[in-house]
Amino acid sequence: MLNRKKTQIAIILAVLAAICPAAERPREPVSIIPQPVSIEYDDGCFQIGPETHVIAENEAAMEASKLIDALAPAMGFKLALTNASQRRRGSITLELEKGPFKLGGEGYMLRITPRRILIRAKKPAGLFYGIQTLRQLLPEQIFSKTKAEGVKWKVLCVRITDYPRFGWRGLLVDPARHFIPKQDLMRFIDIMALHKFNSLQVHLTDDQGWRLEIKRYPKLTRTGAWMDFTTMRHGDEAKGAGDKRPGGFYSQDDIREIVKYAAEHYISILPEIEMPAHTGAAIISYPEIGLYPDKLSALPAEKRWNANERVLAPRPKTVEFMQNVLTEVMELFPNKYIHIGGDEANIGHWKNSEEMQAQKHQMGLKDEAELHSWFIRQMDSFLSRHGRRLVGWDEILQGGLAPGATVMSWRGQQGGITAANAGHDVVMAPTSHTYFDYYQGPSGKEPKAIGGNLPLEKVYGFEPIPRDIAAEKVGHVLGVQGQLWGEFISNTPHLEYMAYPRAAALAEIGWSPQASRDYKNFLTRLRCHLSRFDAVAVNYRKLD
């Protein structure tokens, strides 16, 4: 199989040598990441020039405008947009298929002949992904933000058929630990879109900061968005940060802008509002949702962040508070899914609380795990009543999984296996293969990270569907997500360093057929892909 592929590539390269002058020839026939389902090569090239028209109508015209805007800075000219009645040779046509289409809502066909380029899809998302592929077929200078002089904008004649393996292809960022300015988030979205990711989980709340304006509870950001100490480090005590209080938050207008920008890139923002733990910032802002409100308000400010062990008191009033927060979250985020965290709750603290013990007995709950489950179920039924779906980390399995819950499996894949076999949807996000806050090389040679070891090749070897999921249940695996927890990621260049190229590998796991997985081939394409990163100034980690 591999030999046949090699022979095919050798033949293609020989044919290309005959067609296109050497200087314009790519190193491989084409280097697309994630690898498309099928690529067939035809003779010749198509050259885009100032005279090339883009033909599209209605919804397709929206995508055409994005294509024109994406090409203009590097090409130094803006292609004209026309409608189908002015069909002409030498054009790029974007078409939405009205009849049956086998490639799904995100799939597309891309056909390039010496006369024209045609992208056809059922939905605008498919056109958008076809455009991402077309950008990668062009010389890498197309990614330059300024005019690239002397480049011939040639693309090889190909027939590409493409669609994703999974419908959930995500990354997570963590502005709670280190705030990420809005513009940086948008840049991150640009690079995600190039890799055909379609979901960005934003970890909006944690012990170190509450980053989302909630009108009903203004202290969440007035108090909770500004820390009294520098970010936590290994073993460090909370440090006083002097006059400079680090932090920040997204106003509701910021969020609307981010959500709209992401949607234009076919990326859904998945908001994560942590509960019942990782809630330190919420508790110092509103001590009444914590276990010992009176004790907390007696503490000096910097101590409050660590008090109450940052776990909510799951009393009915706290449920109401968090549901009120979720009401505003639902107004801001159109995503069907809302993430409520659910991880790493030190429920032992409920054992030590007389009030929580009394509540547990009164509710007839067996133990603290059932109290945890009861609390999560309150959120699940609330979100379901509003037509949304709850997502939580795999700890939400403890004490019984809420009926509508989707599980994000992070402590390995077992949580995902259990949930899928029980008929729940899951997203695979295990530390073993998708924690991009882990070291990607020998720890002595890398910038300080949280720990772990996750080199590129290991990411590429990830298989999101474990054998232990029953055949009829594998459809419950919605897809994959890579995590960029922010404890040790304090700025955007470092975020990009931790994300890429590992996220490029994960993009391929999420999109490309399992049968096409070939690490050597990926590395060859990646080398070409890195020059695209250079053109956009992505601060990726160099290959070993």
User: Which residues belong to the active site?
Assistant: 206, 278, 344
- Longest CA pairwise span in the chain (Å): 82
Pick between residue 106 and residue 207 the one whose CB is nearest to ligand ACM. 207
Assign 76 to helix, strand or coil: coil
Give dist(CA 535, CA 69) in Å, integer. 16
Locate tokens 């010992």: which residue? 292
Which residue type, as a one-letter code, is found at position 20? C
Q: Which of 191, 305, 196, 209 is nearest to 248 (CA)?
A: 209
Would you mind telling me the total number of residues written for the chain in this entry?
A: 544
Give dist(CA 248, CA 224) in Å, integer. 9
Pick between residue 207 and residue 380 the one whose CB is nearest to ligand ACM. 207
Contact pattern from residue 241 through residue 280 relative to ligand ACM, giving x for each residue in contact according to CB under 6 A and a dash for the rest: ----------------------------------------
Burial (Cβ within 10 Å: 0-12, 13-18, ≥19) of residue 471: exposed
CA separation, residue 178 to residues 175, 244, 368 (Å): 5, 14, 32
Pick between residue 344 and residue 518 the one whose CB is nearest to ligand ACM. 344
Name the minimum Å distance from CB 274 to ligand ACM.
9
343 is a contact residue toward ligand ACM (CB under 6 A): yes
Pick between residue 36 and residue 415 the one whose CB is nearest to ligand ACM. 415
Q: At what angle do helices 182-194 and 252-264 cross, to 10 degrees?
A: 20
First to last CA, the chain: 27
Name the minimum Å distance from CB 343 to ligand ACM.
4
Q: Which of 184, 344, 367, 518 binds ligand ACM (CB under 6 A)?
A: 344
Name the minimum Å distance from CB 431 to ligand ACM.
7
Pick between residue 257 and residue 343 the one whose CB is nearest to ligand ACM. 343
Give dist(CA 435, CA 439) in Å, integer. 9
Contact status, residue 263 vs residue 191, Cβ threshold 8 Å: no
Name the minimum Å distance from CB 393 to ligand ACM.
4
Name the minimum Å distance from CB 494 to ligand ACM.
19
432 is a contact residue toward ligand ACM (CB under 6 A): no
57 is a contact residue toward ligand ACM (CB under 6 A): no
Alpha helices in 108-236 (DSSP H): 124-137, 182-194, 219-222
Name residues contacting ligand ACM, limited to 408-427 (CB under 6 A).
Answer: 410
Residues that bind ligand ACM (rule: CB under 6 A) add up to a total of 4
Q: How many CB atoms lie within 10 A of CB 348?
A: 10
Pick between residue 71 and residue 176 the one whose CB is nearest to ligand ACM. 176
Q: Which residue is nearest to ligand ACM (CB)?
A: 343
Name the minimum Å distance from CB 394 to ligand ACM.
8
CA separation, residue 493 to residues 111, 354, 486, 526 (Å): 36, 48, 13, 19
Pick between residue 28 and residue 344 the one whose CB is nearest to ligand ACM. 344
Name the minimum Å distance from CB 207 to ligand ACM.
12
Give dist(CA 521, CA 1) in Å, integer. 13
Q: At what angle do helices 124-137 and 182-194 cross, to 10 degrees?
A: 80
Name residues contacting ligand ACM, limited to 381-410 (CB under 6 A).
Answer: 393, 410
Give dist(CA 535, CA 529) in Å, integer. 10
Residues that bind ligand ACM (CB under 6 A): 343-344, 393, 410
